[in-house]
A and B are shown apart, each in its own frame.
Chain A
Amino acid sequence: QLHLQESGPGLVKPSETLSLTCTVSGGSISSSSYYWGWIRQPPGKGLEWIGSIYYNGGTYDNPSLKSRVTISVDTSKNQFSLKLSSVTAADTAVYFCARQAYDGSGYSFDYWGQGTLVTVSS
């Protein structure tokens, strides 16, 4: 059974960089059938797609985050990571990592981590 687990600091200061890692177990991150994504959810609000990465390092990210996003992959550790720079209080959210599986026509988020709350505060 595939398992995804987010890890990283739960508190980040304004203007600093948020860094999270997602560790994948029970399957290989190097499979050509999947993308690996980051999604966030501010307290009491809806889901927002942040970005996704392929095992070869190809990435896509949400243009509304204005190039603050860096997503990377480490296939040797079966992990992928998120960096979000210049954070403000608006970046306070539960951050989820998830697998995007090719479903015959497109990709859907079929496995999710439990999520980790990151608070931006001084």
Chain B
Amino acid sequence: QSALTQPASVSGSPGQSITISCTGTNSDVGSNNLVSWYQQHPGKAPKLMIYGGSKRPSGVSTRFSGSKSGNTASLTVSGLQAEDEADYYCCSFAGSGTWVFGGGTKLTVL
């Protein structure tokens, strides 16, 4: 079971939009619509931001959106704010009851 591939870092200025990719295989990301995204601030537990590929939990800003094409899922953050600076992780169902996370992406708000 290999980790999903994410860029190590992305950055953007306040008000801009950024997209974080999450690339897997036909056995995980490409085989289902069960990708979730998590935000983690330093020293804190991860927080669910997107589930089912594109759905937002109650209370999560509409500036966060998710999508998928083939074996790659994406998280877009629009209207960047300073509070969005954090690590972001994708997670996908990988078959046979197992789950796999991405390596994580550090988002820097310039």
Give A residues with C-beta under 8 Å from B. Answer: 37, 39, 45-49, 52, 60-64, 96, 103-110, 112-115
Contact = CB atoms under 8 A, between A and B. Distances in A.
11 contacts: A39-B101, A46-B103, A47-B89, A96-B46, A103-B55, A104-B52, A105-B33, A105-B52, A106-B32, A106-B33, A112-B45
A113 to B, nearest CB: 7
A102 B71 CA distance: 23
A103 B98 contact: no
A41 B1 CA distance: 16
A5 to B, nearest CB: 11
B74 to A, nearest CB: 17
A49 B102 contact: no
Interface of B: 1, 3, 32-34, 36, 38, 45-48, 51-52, 55, 57, 89, 91, 93, 96-104
B89 A63 contact: no
Contacts of B36: 108-109
B101 to A, nearest CB: 4
B103 to A, nearest CB: 5
A108 B91 CA distance: 9
Contacts of B34: 105-108
Given A106-B34, A106-B93, A113-B45, 20 more contacts: A37-B99, A45-B104, A46-B3, A46-B101, A47-B91, A48-B101, A49-B100, A52-B97, A60-B96, A60-B97, A60-B98, A63-B98, A96-B45, A103-B52, A106-B33, A106-B51, A107-B34, A107-B93, A108-B34, A112-B47
A37 B100 CA distance: 13
Contacts of A62: 1, 98
A47 B104 contact: yes
A39 B47 CA distance: 13
A109 B104 contact: no
B23 to A, nearest CB: 15
A64 B101 CA distance: 13
Contacts of B38: 47, 109
B91 A49 contact: yes
